Structure 1
Amino acid sequence: MAPKRYSYSDVKKMTDSFRNKIGQGGFGSVYRGKLPDGRLVAVKLLNISKEKGEEFINEVVSITRTSHVNIVSLWGFCYESGKRALIYEFMCNGSLEKLIYDEDPLRSWRHLAWEKLYQIAIGIAQGLEYLHCRCNTQILHFDVKPHNILLDEDFCPKISDFGLAKLCHRKDGVVSMWDARGTMGYVAPEVFNRNFGQVSSKSDVYSYGMMILEMVGGRKNINATASRTSKIYFPHWVYKRLELAEDLGLQGIASKEENEIARKMILVGLWCIQTDPSHRPSMSMVINMLEGSIEGLQIPPKPVLSSPPRSPADSSISALIDI
Structure 2
Amino acid sequence: MRNSPPSKSSSNVSIRGGASELPTKRKSTTIVGTVLGIVSALAVALGIFSVFIWRRRQTDRYADSSDSFLRMFSYKELKIATRNFKSQLGRGGFGSVFKGSLPDGTIVAVKRMECSRQDEKQFRAEIRSLGNIHHMNLVRLRGFCAQGSRRLLVHDYMPNGSLNSFLFTSQSKSKRRVLDWKTRLEIALGTARGLHYLHEECRDCIIHGDVKPENILLDSNLSPKLADFGLSRLVGRDFSRVLTTTRGTRGAVTQIQQGKTINVVEKDVVEAADMEEVRRACVIVLLCIQEDDEVRPSMRQVVQMLEGKMEPQPPQIPSYAFMDKHVDQSDIDSYGSYSHSVLSGLLV
TM-score, length-scaled by structure 1: 0.69
Of structures 1 and 2, the larger Rg is shown by 2
> Contact (CA 8 Å) 2:75, 2:145: kept in 1 or not?
yes
For the aligned residues, what is the CA RMSD?
3.3
Per the alignment, residue 145 of structure 1 pairs with 212
Q: For residues 124 and 241 of structure 2, what CA distance do their matches in structure 1 show?
A: 17
What amino acid maps onto 1:242 in structure 2? I
In the TM superposition, residue 142 of structure 1 has moved relative to its aligned partner by 1.4
> Contact (CA 8 Å) 1:114, 1:261: kept in 2 or not?
no
Aligned residue-pair number: 256
Aligned mate of 2:313, from 286, 289, 298: 298
Listed one character per residue, the Cα deviations across residues 35-88 of structure 1 (whole Å, up to 9, x for unaligned) are 122111000112245379899667624421211101111111111121111100
Aligned mate of 1:114, from 181, 187, 203: 181
Aligned mate of 1:279, from 295, 299, 306: 295
Q: For residues 158 and 115 of structure 1, what CA distance do their matches in structure 2 show?
A: 17
Aligned pair 1:269/2:285, yes or no? yes
Per the alignment, residue 346 of structure 2 pairs with none
In the TM superposition, residue 97 of structure 1 has moved relative to its aligned partner by 1.0
Listed one character per residue, the Cα deviations across residues 150-209 of structure 1 (whole Å, up to 9, x for unaligned) are 111011111111244569xxxxxxxxx9954476427xxxxxxxxxxxxxxxxxxxxxxx
Aligned mate of 1:320, from 325, 334, 345: 325
Q: Specify the SS of the correspondent of 2:290.
A: coil
Q: Specify the SS of the correspondent of 1:297.
A: coil
Per the alignment, residue 54 of structure 2 pairs with none
Per the alignment, residue 185 of structure 1 pairs with 244
Q: Specify the SS of the correspondent of 1:139.
A: coil
Listed one character per residue, the Cα deviations across residues 113-172 of structure 1 (whole Å, up to 9, x for unaligned) are 1100100111011111111121122222111111111111011111111244569xxxxx
> Contact (CA 8 Å) 1:59, 1:165: kept in 2 or not?
no
Aligned mate of 1:222, from 247, 259, 267: 247
Q: For residues 91 and 125 of structure 2, what CA distance do their matches in structure 1 show?
A: 20
Per the alignment, residue 241 of structure 1 pairs with 255
Aligned pair 1:44/2:106, yes or no? no
Question: Identical aligned pairs, as a percentage?
Answer: 35
Gaps of 5+ in 2: 1-67, 328-348
Aligned CA distance change for structure 1 residues 31 and 180 (closer, same or farther; 3 Å) = closer
Q: Specify the SS of the correspondent of 1:279.
A: coil
Aligned pair 1:28/2:95, yes or no? yes
What amino acid maps onto 2:319 in structure 1? P
Q: How does 1:126-141 map to 2 (within 5 A)?
A: 126-141=193-208
TM-score, length-scaled by structure 2: 0.64
In the TM superposition, residue 305 of structure 1 has moved relative to its aligned partner by 3.8
Per the alignment, residue 221 of structure 2 pairs with 154
In the TM superposition, residue 10 of structure 1 has moved relative to its aligned partner by 0.7
Gaps of 5+ in 1: 168-176, 187-220, 224-230, 308-318
Per the alignment, residue 94 of structure 1 pairs with 161
In the TM superposition, residue 239 of structure 1 has moved relative to its aligned partner by 2.5
Listed one character per residue, the Cα deviations across residues 219-241 of structure 1 (whole Å, up to 9, x for unaligned) are xx334xxxxxxx3x3xxx22322
Aligned CA distance change for structure 1 residues 116 and 104 (closer, same or farther; 3 Å) = same
